[in-house]
Amino acid sequence: MFTGIIEQAGKIKSFLKRGNQAKITIEFHQSVSDLTLGESIAVNGVCLTVVKIGNGYFAADISEETLDRTNLGELKPTDKVNLERSLKIGERLGGHFVSGHIDGVGRISKKIKKGEETILTIKAPEKIMKYVVEKGSIAVDGISLTIASCDEKSITISIIPHTEVCTNLKWKKSGDVVNLENDMIGKYIEKFVNLKNRNNGGKSKISKEFLAAHGF
C-alpha cells in the first residue's frame, strides 16, 4: 500500500527484456540505507518487488501482465521514474490510498504553464473515466493528484511547482504515456451497489432521500 507522495525521482540504469518479461535496474537520487530484499516499492505507481540491491541502485523483475498494462515497457536508460516505498503503519497519509495496481494508461494531450502552476490534460480510456469525479483523487505515474476538471474523455490537473520539481512530471511532455490508478474507494462502492441491486431484484434502494439522510 502506498500514498502517492513521491519520495524521489530515480533514473533507469538498465532495462533488459527477457522473453515476455523484463528486469529493471534503477539508480537512487537519494541514499536509501534500509532498503531490503523482497520489499515493495512503487515505480511510476507500479508495485514491484526488490530482487537485488547494489551501491546506489536496486533491481526488480517485471511480469508480462505489468508490461502489457503499464508504461514500464517503454522505459529506457536515463529515463526518470517516480519512486515511493510502501506505507508504514503510524505514518501520515499525505495523499490517498494507492495500491500500486495500475488500472490503465492515459496519454498527455496538453501541458501548459499558467503562472507558477502547470496545467496537465490527460486523455484516458472509458474504464478509467467511469471512476473519475471532479475534485476526486487519481494516481498519475504514482503521484496522488486532485482532478481539477474532467469530461467524458479526459482529466485536467493543476500541478504545483513542488510536485513538478520532485517527480518525473518535470520531464513529461505532450504525447507521453502515463500510468493511471483510480481511487479504490469508488471501485468498492460500485461493486457494493451492484451487489445490493442484484439482491434487491435489480431495484436500487439508493434515492435522493437516502443520500440526504446520510450526509450527501
Angle at 100 between CA 10 and CA 165, to 5 degrees: 35
Catalogue the long-range contacts made by 145-148 (C-beta closer than 8 Å, 24 or more residues apart).
Answer: 145/4, 148/119
pLDDT confidence tier of residue 51, bands split at 50, 70 and 90 = very high
- 24 in a domain, yes or no? yes
Mean pLDDT of 94-105: 93
pTM: 0.88
pLDDT over threshold 70, residue 52: yes
Domain end, chosen from 55, 85, 115, is at: 85
Q: Which amino acid is at 216?
A: F
CATH code at 182?
2.40.30.20
Domain boundaries, position 130? 104-188
pLDDT confidence tier of residue 206, bands split at 50, 70 and 90 = low
- 13 in a domain, yes or no? yes
What tens digit of pLDDT does each residue of 171-202 get?
Answer: 999 999 999 999 988 888 877 777 766 766 66
Q: What percent of the chain has pLDDT over 70?
A: 90
pLDDT for the residue numbered 32: 77
Mean pLDDT of 35-54: 96
CA distance 164 to 54: 28
